[in-house]
A and B are shown apart, each in its own frame.
Chain A
Amino acid sequence: DAGVIQSPRHEVTEMGQEVTLRCKPISGHNSLFWYRQTMMRGLELLIYFNNNVPIDDSGMPEDRFSAKMPNASFSTLKIQPSEPRDSAVYFCASRRSRETLTDTQYFGPGTRLTVL
């Protein structure tokens, strides 16, 4: 079975540009998570969806960040305009069910974003 798929794997852009990160969750999983990982702040949850609906976006740093999940097999995280402090590794993860303790959360390979 294919795992969580993310694209692109690496993105280098200039400050002020729009960046779109993409994620395809594991088929049959109905919870999807976006994380950001930096050395300073560790792994931060940005937003999570359940059945394509955003449940908690309190981790989204500011209005420059937005996330969508138009269907069960696709999600995007957009940064507009990007800033150098947005440089990080962005992970997407999915899980089968929202309200259980045992379902494992599986991570994608991550997108390494560098904003110059």
Chain B
Amino acid sequence: AQKITQTQPGMFVQEKEAVTLDCTYDTSDPSYGLFWYKQPSSGEMIFLIYQGSYDQQNATEGRYSLNFQKARKSANLVISASQLGDSAMYFCAMRAAGGSYIPTFGRGTSLIVHP
């Protein structure tokens, strides 16, 4: 079975500072993909970044990077130089072949960026 755990229900960060959102996962499948999505107050789910289990390097997309620690089964999202528009819910998700490629989502972390 697949499981995603996001232990931080809420996070606060000062504008222009970096913030790390935690995500741990559990799977027995050696081949899997990890995703992060952003959900602003408007409600849409926006794809941010992807990390494959066999990728040698941590994924980066602009101000987003994924701190992938395979042995610890963690895939933390790092947002550098936070902006007010980064205030949103953030969801970590995983997909594995053993799970029939059906994605499993965490409960999310609410991020508030203060000016």
Query: CB within 8 Å of B: which residues of A?
Result: 33, 42-43, 45, 48, 55-56, 89, 91, 93, 98-102, 104-110, 112
Contact = CB atoms under 8 A, between A and B. Distances in A.
A109 B52 contact: no
Contacts of B107: 42
B102 interface: yes
11 contacts: A33-B103, A42-B105, A42-B107, A89-B43, A98-B101, A101-B53, A101-B95, A101-B96, A102-B33, A104-B47, A107-B46
Given A104-B47, A105-B47, A112-B43, A48 B52 contact: no
A106 B96 contact: no
B35 A105 contact: yes
Given A33-B103, A43-B108, 7 more contacts: A45-B102, A93-B45, A101-B53, A101-B101, A102-B52, A104-B35, A109-B43
Interface residues on B, range: 20 to 34
A60 B35 CA distance: 24
Main secondary structure, interface of A, reads strand
Contacts of A107: 37, 44-47
A101 B32 contact: yes
Residue from B32, B52, B103, B106 with most neighbouring chain A CB atoms (10 Å): B103
Interface in B39-56: 43-47, 50, 52-53
A109 B47 contact: no
